[in-house]
Chain A
Amino acid sequence: MNIATIIEGLSRRDPRAIGRAISIVENHDPDAHALLDSLDPAKIEACLVVGITGPPGAGKSTLTAQLIKEYRRHEVRVGIVAVDPSSPLSGGALLGDRVRMMNHALDPDVVIRSMATRGRLGGVCGSAGAAVRIMAHSACQVVLIETVGVGQSEMDIVRMADLTAMVLAPGLGDDIQAMKAGLLEVADVLVVNKADLRGADALLLDMESVAQQRQDRQGRTTRVCATIASKGDGVAELVQIFNDMNEMFQKSGEKAQRRLQARRYEVIDWAVELIRPRIADSVADKAAFNGDPMLLAQDILVGMGLQTKKD
C-alpha cells in the first residue's frame, strides 16, 4: 500500500489504511510527514478523547469494552488506543487488552489499536497522540485511551486526553493509597469498579470525600461513579458523565486550554524522540568515553549545533 492509497483510505474509513497509517507514524517512517499533514484538524478538534487509567487489574479493559458497547448503542463510531509497557529487557511487549474487546472485532465502527510504550523517554505521548488523530480523522467521534496507571505513562495520557477517568476497585488497597498523591489529583472522574465486591462501599465513600475536598480546595469538579464492568452496570451513567463534563469543559474553555497544553507537551516529546537516535549515535561514536556525563552531553549538543560552546 503506498502512502497516497493510505491517505485516501483513511477518509473511506478503510481498516487496512488506518492500521498501516498508525504503523507509519509509530515507526518514524519518512511517509509520516505527508500522512500527518493530510489529517483534518476540524475532525480532530471535534473528537472527544477520554483517558482510562488505573492500577493493574482494576477492570479498565472490561470497562472499556462496555463503554464501546454503550457508545455503539448510540451509533457513535469509537476508537480505542490500548497502551501497555514494553519490557525494558527485551524491548518486546505482550498486549492483551484486546482480549476483553474481541466481541466488537467485526464492527467496522470500532477501531482498536494496541501499542507498546517502546521505552520512550516521554512515555507514550507521541505515537499514541498520532494514533488518536488518525482515528479522529477517519471519523471516530470518541477515542478511549487505556493505559495502566503505574507511573509516568498515565500522566502522559492525562495530558493528552480531554477527560481522564481513573478506574479503581476494592481490594487494591496500597496501590490506591500510593496513587492518591499523584494521579487521583488530576483525574476528572473517579470510577469505583467491581462495585459487586466487598469494600466497594467504603471505597466509594472515600472517593466521594476526595472529590469533595478537591471541590473545596481547588474549586475543581470531580465526578464519582460506581460500576460493575463485568455486567455493564453503571456504564450508561459513566457515558452521561463524560458527555456532561465535555460540554462543561467546552463552555468554560477548559477543553481548548487542555488541548493547547497537550500540543505543547507533545511537540516537546516528539522533538526529543526524533533527536534521540542521533544522540545515541554520537554516544556510540565517542571512543574515549570519559569525563562528566553532563559535560559530554553538552559537547554532543554543541556538535549538533543545538547549543553554543561556553568556555
Chain B
Amino acid sequence: MSKKYRVLIGKPGLDGHDRGAKVIAQALRDKGFEVIYTGIRRSPAEIAAAAVQEDVDVVGLSSLSGAHLRLFPAVVEELAKADAHDIAVVGGGVIPTEDIATLKAAGIREIFTPGATLEEVIGAFQSACEEREK
C-alpha cells in the first residue's frame, strides 16, 4: 500500500478571506490528499506546531494581507526550530513578482500568484510530497 500524502493549509496573518485556501484544500482532497485545515488568522508558530503534530509532508500558506515577506519565512523558521526542516512550505496569494526570489531564498519551495492554475498548485504539492518520501 502506498503512503497517503498529508498536507496542511494555513492562513497566517490578519486577513479573513479564506475562500481561495478552501478551494485549494478541496481540490487537494479531490486528488486524494489528506488535507488538514487550520482556519484563518493563525500565527506562524501555531501553523508550524500543527504541521509537526499532524506530521504533514507539505504546508501550504495563503496570504492576501501583504505580510507574506514576514509570515512565510517565519513558518519555515518555526519548522526548523521544531526539527522539521524536511516539511516543505509552499505559498500563494497576492504576491508581487519581485518578492518571489526573496521568498524562495528564505526556503519557500514554490510561490503561486493569482494567475496560477489549480493543476499547477496541486502539481507543486504532489512533487513536494514525492520528494519527501524519498
Which residues on A are within 8 Å of B, measured CB to CB? 1, 14-16, 18-20, 22-23, 26-28, 86-87, 89-96, 98-99, 102, 105-106, 111-114, 116, 118, 277
Collect the chain B residues with CB atoms within 8 Å of residue A99's CB.
Answer: 37-39
Contact with A along B8-42 (1 / 0, CB 8 A): 00000000000000000110111111111111001
Interchain Cβ contacts under 8 Å between A and B, 23 examples: A15-B52, A15-B53, A16-B52, A16-B83, A18-B53, A20-B55, A87-B29, A89-B30, A92-B30, A92-B32, A93-B35, A94-B37, A95-B37, A98-B36, A98-B38, A99-B37, A102-B38, A102-B42, A102-B46, A105-B46, A105-B47, A111-B53, A112-B53
Is B4 an interface residue, CB under 8 A from the partner? Answer: yes
Total A-B pairs, Cβ < 8 A: 93
Cα–Cα, bound, A96→B47 (Å): 14
Q: Complex: how many Å from CA A108 to CA B34?
A: 24
Bound-state Cα–Cα, A16 to B53, Å: 7
Q: Does B49 lie at the interface of the complex (its beta carbon under 8 Å from any beta carbon of A)?
A: yes
**Which B residues touch A112, using CB under 8 A?**
50, 53-54
A106 to B49, CA, bound (A): 7
- Can you add 8 more A-B contacts, CB < 8 Å, to A92-B35, A112-B50? A15-B53, A28-B1, A91-B32, A92-B34, A94-B25, A99-B37, A102-B50, A105-B50
Tell me how far the C-beta of B134 lies from the nearest C-beta in chain A, rounded to whole angstroms. 15
Assess the A102–B39 pair: CB atoms within 8 A: yes
The CA-CA distance from A93 to B45 in the complex, in Å, is 24
Are B35 and A27 neighbours in the complex by a CB distance under 8 Å? no
Residues of chain B within 8 A (CB-CB) of A16 are: 52, 82-84
> If A92-B28, A92-B29 touch, does A116 touch B55 (CB 8 Å cutoff)?
no
